[in-house]
Amino acid sequence: MISRIIPIAIFLALGILLAVGLKIADHKTEIPSPLIGKKLPEFSLPVLGEPERIVTNEDLLGTPFLLNVWASWCPTCRVEHPYIEQLARSGKLRVVGFNYKDELADAQAWLRQFGNPYEVTIQDYSGRYAIDLGVYAAPESFLVDADGTIIFKQIGAVTPEVIEQEILPRIGK
């Protein structure tokens, strides 16, 4: 009898541990970035669809901006896109697109279909600069101050709550 109860008890204990671990993990929404408080890593990347036009980190300085990492293959990017558009239209913050490991035609079609809220979109086809930023996957967003210092990183979709509670307070608007 006991030989039958032990495997069931072990299975139940493991199930409870898994459930508790998932519950704890569900409440942890912020993954710290070692880049917070540091300058945006230097880059020189082409503008999406304009390979002869190169943008560097120096070109973006002067006013704060949100660097939004997105891709046409990213389903969560579709979820956040209307909120990125609203933020860009509000004029409260510049929004710069960062197209991540995407085919040019797919990225351009995606922007035609869903709208282009970006002041400019830089393209990182190889994903090398994304490594410098510590990008896990799209979508991610980096709030950068006027001097080029990263002051916030959002992993996952930007939502109205993230904009109101995390992004705008950090830029004072």
The rounded distance, in Å, linking the Cα atoms of 68 and 91 is 16
Instruction: List strands edge to edge, sheet with 150-155.
Output: 50-56, 44-47, 121-124, 94-100, 65-70, 140-144, 150-155
What pairs with residue 46 in β-bridges?
54
pLDDT at 110: 97
pLDDT at 156: 95
Report d(CA 8, CA 37) in Å as an integer.
50
Give the C-alpha separation, 26 to 54, whole Å: 40
Which positions ≥6 away from 27 have C-beta within 8 Å?
none
At residue 41, the pLDDT reads 95
The per-residue pLDDT for 26 is 44
Q: What is the dihedral of CA 41, 76, 86, 143, to 10 degrees?
A: -20
Enter the tokens of residue 103.
Answer: 């085919």
pLDDT tens, the chain, 173 aa long: 777 887 776 777 776 776 666 555 444 445 567 889 999 999 999 999 999 999 999 999 999 999 999 999 999 999 999 999 999 999 999 999 999 999 999 999 999 999 999 999 999 999 999 999 999 889 999 999 999 999 999 999 999 999 999 999 999 85
Residue linked to tokens 């409440």? 27
Amino acid at 171: I
In angstroms, the Cα distances linking 71 to 57, 129, 169 are: 20, 15, 27
What is the end-to-end Cα distance of the chain in Å, rounded?
67
* Torsion sign over Cα 111, 117, 119, 125: negative
